[in-house]
């Protein structure tokens, strides 16, 4: 080769002098460390740790820092090939047995500037090698800095980071951990503003009172039907139902709203006035579970049957309770997400009773209403905005707290730094009782409603027994005594008979509520998912001791009752429809939450690839518009009502999500003929599948299925729901998880009408035009 010559029997570059005879350099993988730290001795050389790791020394203490990655076995040292090395040669000197040898190599340009005077000298610079330890340390630092792409440390002053790197690693780690802990506790203290006294109502439930709402069926079951008139004013105010200050909605200054307790046949006239301040705070009220037979316009579904009530306007709801609507119900806002900020209340309809037969029963049995649900410390619009944004990563927001009839207990120290709160320690660490002491030992009917936005829950007792009686709108079920009942999902209701165990001492009588965490995709340190409450006001419980019971497993249910496995009680005198073997009409649905580019990649709820939004042009409810003017967001199948007899309709609801979806139907009750959750795959079902399809075929229960208006469709599963279409109108059908409904997981059913055309509601249209 023209640029090489023979040296010790090997080819070397002409620019390099022959190395010492018998010396061989072997490259060693540096395994992620600096190349200069992995040089190994082969012949006559020693890697001396005392003189600096990675430097080679011979018997005359002459040192050269040769990086292993540039030392091939043929003796050639191609340092000039590295892009950061200068093309200007330099002579490096070493001696062996009194004979001076020279090796030409290329060093960084900065090194040449450093030692320019020595490069011009012809003799050995004794002063330069008078301190070999300092010399090799500087060369080692220069070599490693150049190889790692760092500036020459000899040309700049030492920085704080450089000084920190030279500290002992253990000391640096200790300092870092202490710094992080200090920042964490400082930010945590800043996330909570503790209040001892406040002008706001921080104790919405008195510690001397009870959490349960005592009902009076004896005042309604034996009287004649009558007219009930209410005047409601909707306002907002800052309150702290669980100790954390938040803006909530009030009806007549109450949270929850006023209790409606009535009987079948009563006529309700409720004048609702919106006294909110913001123009976007429009409201409507839905009567959850009532069939609203013959009163579709009073259903309260904004965008379907009415225009929302703007501020400073009034709307009157006027309807009669039909004979089929007996049981536990509730009402709540059905516009935007106002339900999440407290606009709801209890509604109980008692059936007509024979005074001579049942008076003694009510003397020996009491009824108590519990509105139980999850609670967020941020406003519902803020929570929805987080869910719809990229910050949520398509995860449903996990709640912060739990409320029973508008009251709860939050430990202020559990506040998360990312969500600062104004907090007040309610009840001073003591949890009040559920019942008045006068109910001790008396069998009590518990009417339970899940008013939450996301989470289902299980209810249990530490002593006594719970026997489920009815679900949703009064459907009797075959219940067995248990110590826990669940899971009750958002919108669902259950009536339970509580019977006392008089052998248990009073201090051990408590009720426990545990959130189902299936839809919780991330941990929320602020939430206490398991909470216990004493039965009676005379026996308050220390909250800390209750948490200890949960952690030790002392509150674990032993004999649970699964509501999704319950069967209807069809024995006389219970009224029960004769369910046909086949349906006259089938609606096949697929629901899923998806992110699509045309919606800005926000998580949107879809039913058969349609995401619902209110009618845009013109912005009127659907019952005021002809069907042909509805836009593409209105997925509303038509179901005719023949003159001969009503049709039986099947809704086959396939859930393609990893979340469960509690679906609620307006205007009807349906029979749950089948429900399935897949162990693998999507678990969907279609009656139109081809022959030989391996999809799971449902076993339809036509004997004793549950009759409900809200049912939880399991993740990656399906449900077959059947109802008799005999109630004309436009009825909403949607997921009752607030964020799923607000993101579009909604559709409707148009029942009756003239060949699929709507009957225009002139009164609703006149109201909308007057706004």
Least confident of 110-119, 304-313, 448-457, 505-514: 110-119
* Identity of the highest mean pLDDT range in 103-117, 232-246, 533-547, 695-709: 232-246
pLDDT in tens, 406-446: 999 888 888 888 888 898 877 765 677 888 877 888 889 99
Dihedral (Cα; 603, 609, 613, 616), 10-degree rounding: 130
Lowest mean pLDDT among 284-298, 318-332, 386-400: 386-400
Tell me what the pLDDT averaged over the chain comes to: 77
Phi/psi at 146 (5° precision): -70, -40
The 10s digit of each residue's pLDDT in 687-725 is 887 655 555 678 899 999 999 999 999 999 999 999 999
Q: In whole angstroms, how far apart are CA 450 and each of 148, 338, 346? A: 62, 16, 11
pLDDT at 726 over 70: yes
Confidence of residue 754 (pLDDT cuts 50, 70, 90): low
Which domains, ranges and CATH numbers included, belong to the chain? 4-165 (no CATH), 213-565 (2.60.40.420), 585-770 (2.60.40.420)
- Which segments of 385-443 are extended strands (E)? 401-404, 421-423, 430-431
pLDDT digits (tens, 9 = 90+) for 214-230: 999 989 988 999 999 99
Of 643 and 615, the structure prediction assigns the larger pLDDT to 615
The yes-or-no verdict on residue 543 having pLDDT over 80 is no
User: Among 563-577, 600-614, 617-631, 737-751, which is the least confidently predicted range?
Assistant: 563-577
pLDDT of residue 509: 79
The span from the CA of 520 to the CA of 398, in Å, is 6
* CA pair distance 458, 452, nearest whole angstrom: 13
**Residues 281 and 343 sit within 8 Å (Cβ to Cβ):** no
Residue 95 confidence (pLDDT): 42
Of 295, 371, 374, 389, whose CA–CA distance to 332 is shortest?
A: 371
Q: What is the pLDDT of residue 96?
A: 43
The proportion of the chain whose per-residue pLDDT surpasses 90, expressed as a percent, equals 44
Beta bridge partners of 580: none
pLDDT at 504: 64
Q: Which helix (H) or strand (E) holds 63?
A: strand 63-64
How far is the C-alpha of 475 from the C-alpha of 384, rounded, in Å? Answer: 34
pTM, full prediction = 0.74
Which range has the top average pLDDT, 52-61, 155-164, 650-659? Answer: 650-659
- Which residue has better confidence, 166 or 765? 765
pLDDT in the model for residue 501: 74
DSSP state of 243: S
Q: Which of 520, 498, 510, 503 is nearest to 554 (CA)?
A: 510
What's the confidence (pLDDT) of residue 284? Answer: 96
If you average pLDDT over each of 15-24, 43-52, 58-67, 555-564, which comes out highest?
Answer: 555-564
Q: What pLDDT is stored for residue 416 in this prediction?
A: 84
pLDDT band at residue 56 using 50, 70 and 90 as cut-offs: very low
Inform me whether the pLDDT recorded for 320 exceeds 80: yes
Band of pLDDT at residue 397, cut at 50, 70 and 90: very high
Least confident range from 167-176, 472-481, 562-571: namely: 167-176
pLDDT for 581 equals 92
Half-sphere exposure in the Cβ direction for 75 (13 Å, CA): 23
The better pLDDT of the pair 179, 5 is held by: 179
Confidence band for 505, pLDDT divided at 50, 70 and 90:
low
Antiparallel, parallel or unpaired: β 560-562 and 484-488: parallel
Question: What residues have CB less than 8 Å from 168, skipping those under 6 apart?
Answer: none
Q: Quick one: tokens of 88?
A: 């200007």
What pLDDT, on the 0 to 100 scale, is given for residue 39?
Answer: 39
Predicted confidence at residue 599, as pLDDT, reads 78
pLDDT at 310 over 80: yes
3-state secondary structure 436-458: CHHHCCCCEEEEEEECCCCCCEE
Mean pLDDT (whole number) for 530-537: 85
* Distance from C-alpha of 283 to C-alpha of 333, rounded to nearest angstrom: 6
User: What pLDDT score does 431 carry?
Assistant: 74
Say how far apart CA 768 and CA 498 lie, in whole Å. 47
pLDDT of residue 162: 65
Query: Given phi > 0 = left and psi -120 to 50 = alpha, else beta, which region is 347?
Result: beta
- Report the pLDDT value the prediction gives residue 760, as an integer from 0 to 100: 78
Q: Is 64 helix (H, G, I), strand (E, B) or coil?
A: strand
pLDDT at position 260 is 97
* Top-confidence residue, 195 or 299: 299
Task: Give the long-range contacts of residues 151-159, CB within 8 A, separation 24 or more.
Answer: 152/108, 152/110, 154/110, 154/114, 155/110
Least confident window among 228-232, 497-501, 723-727: 497-501
Provide the pLDDT for residue 194.
52
User: How confident is residue 642, by pLDDT bands cut at 50, 70 and 90?
Assistant: confident
Query: pLDDT confidence of 145, banded at 50, 70, 90?
Result: very low
Length of the chain: 771
Q: Tell me: cis bond preceding 573? Omega within 30 of 0 counts.
A: yes
Sequence-separated (6 or more) residues with CB below 8 Å from residue 243: 202, 408, 409, 410, 412, 423, 424, 425, 426
How far, in Å, CA of 37 to CA of 55, rounded?
8
- pLDDT reported for residue 128: 41
Compute the C-alpha angle 204/210/211, nearest 5°.
65
440: nearest Cα among 423, 418, 463, 458 = 463
For range 242-252, the mean pLDDT: 95
């Amino acid at each position: 080769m023209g640029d090489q010559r023979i040296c010790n029997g090997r080819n070397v570059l002409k620019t390099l002098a022959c190395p010492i005879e018998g010396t061989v350099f072997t490259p060693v993988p540096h395994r992620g460390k600096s190349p200069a730290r992995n040089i190994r001795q082969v012949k006559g050389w020693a890697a001396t740790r005392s003189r600096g790791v990675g430097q080679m020394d011979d018997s005359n203490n002459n040192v050269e820092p040769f990086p292993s990655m540039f030392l091939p076995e043929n003796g050639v040292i191609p340092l000039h090939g590295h892009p950061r090395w200068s093309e200007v040669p330099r002579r490096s000197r070493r001696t062996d047995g009194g004979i001076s040898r020279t090796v030409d190599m290329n060093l960084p340009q900065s090194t040449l500037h450093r030692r320019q005077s020595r490069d011009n000298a012809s003799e050995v610079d004794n002063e330069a090698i008078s301190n070999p330890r300092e010399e090799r340390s500087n060369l080692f630092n220069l070599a490693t800095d150049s190889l790692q792409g760092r500036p020459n440390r000899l040309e700049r002053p030492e920085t704080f980071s450089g000084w920190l790197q030279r500290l002992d690693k253990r000391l640096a780690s200790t300092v870092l951990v202490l710094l992080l802990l200090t920042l964490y506790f400082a930010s945590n203290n800043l996330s909570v503003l503790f209040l001892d006294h406040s002008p706001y109502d921080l104790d919405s439930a008195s510690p001397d009172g009870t959490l349960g709402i005592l009902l009076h069926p004896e005042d309604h079951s034996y009287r004649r039907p009558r007219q009930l008139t209410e005047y409601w004013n909707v306002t907002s105010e800052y309150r702290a139902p669980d100790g954390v200050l938040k803006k909530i909605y009030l009806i007549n200054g109450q949270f929850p709203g006023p209790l409606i307790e009535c009987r079948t046949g009563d006529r309700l006239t409720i004048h609702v006035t919106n006294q909110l301040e913001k123009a976007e705070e429009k409201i409507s009220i839905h009567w959850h579970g009532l069939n609203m037979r013959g009163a579709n316009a009073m259903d309260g579904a904004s965008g379907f049957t009415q225009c929302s009530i703007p501020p400073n306007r009034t709307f009157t709801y006027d309807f009669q309770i039909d004979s089929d609507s007996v049981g536990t119900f509730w009402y709540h806002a059905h516009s935007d997400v106002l339900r999440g900020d407290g606009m709801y209340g209890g509604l109980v309809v008692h059936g007509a009773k024979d005074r001579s037969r049942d008076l003694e029963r009510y003397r020996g049995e009491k009824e108590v209403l519990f509105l139980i649900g999850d609670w967020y410390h941020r406003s519902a619009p803020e929570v929805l905005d987080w869910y719809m944004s990229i910050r949520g990563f398509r995860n449903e927001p996990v709640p912060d707290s739990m409320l029973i009839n508008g009251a709860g207990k939050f430990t202020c120290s559990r506040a998360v730094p990312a969500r600062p709160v104004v907090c007040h320690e309610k009840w001073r660490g003591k949890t009040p009782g559920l019942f008045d002491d006068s109910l001790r030992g008396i069998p009590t009917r518990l009417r339970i409603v899940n008013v939450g936005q996301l989470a289902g829950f299980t209810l249990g007792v530490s002593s006594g027994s719970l026997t489920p009686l009815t679900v949703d709108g009064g459907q009797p079920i075959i219940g067995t005594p248990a110590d826990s009942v669940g899971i009750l999902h958002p919108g669902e209701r259950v009536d339970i008979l509580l019977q006392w165990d008089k052998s248990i001492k009073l201090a051990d009588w408590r009720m426990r509520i545990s959130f189902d965490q299936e839809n919780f995709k991330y941990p929320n340190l602020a939430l206490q998912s398991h909470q216990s409450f004493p039965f009676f006001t005379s026996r308050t419980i220390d909250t800390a001791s209750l948490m200890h019971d949960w952690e030790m497993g002392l509150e674990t249910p032993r004999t649970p009752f699964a509501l999704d496995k319950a069967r209807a009680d069809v024995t006389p005198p219970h009224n029960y429809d004769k369910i046909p073997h086949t349906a006259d009409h089938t609606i096949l649905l697929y629901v899923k939450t998806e992110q699509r580019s045309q919606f800005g990649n926000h998580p949107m709820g879809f039913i058969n690839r349609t995401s619902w939004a209110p009618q845009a042009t013109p912005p009127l409810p659907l019952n005021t518009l002809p069907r042909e003017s509805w836009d593409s967001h209105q997925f509303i199948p038509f179901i005719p009502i023949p003159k001969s007899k009503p049709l039986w309709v099947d809704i086959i609801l396939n859930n393609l999500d990893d979340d469960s979806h509690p679906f609620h139907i307006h205007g009807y009750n349906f029979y749950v003929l089948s429900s399935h959750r897949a162990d693998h795959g999507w678990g969907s079902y279609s009656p139109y599948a081809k022959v030989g399809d391996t999809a799971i075929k449902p076993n339809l229960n036509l004997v004793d299925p549950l009759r409900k208006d809200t049912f939880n469709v399991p993740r990656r599963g399906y449900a077959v729901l059947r109802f008799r279409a005999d109630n004309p109108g436009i009825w909403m059908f949607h997921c009752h998880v607030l964020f799923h409904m607000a993101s579009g997981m909604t559709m409707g059913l148009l029942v009756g009408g003239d060949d699929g055309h709507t009957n225009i509601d002139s009164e609703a249209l006149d109201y909308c035009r007057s706004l």
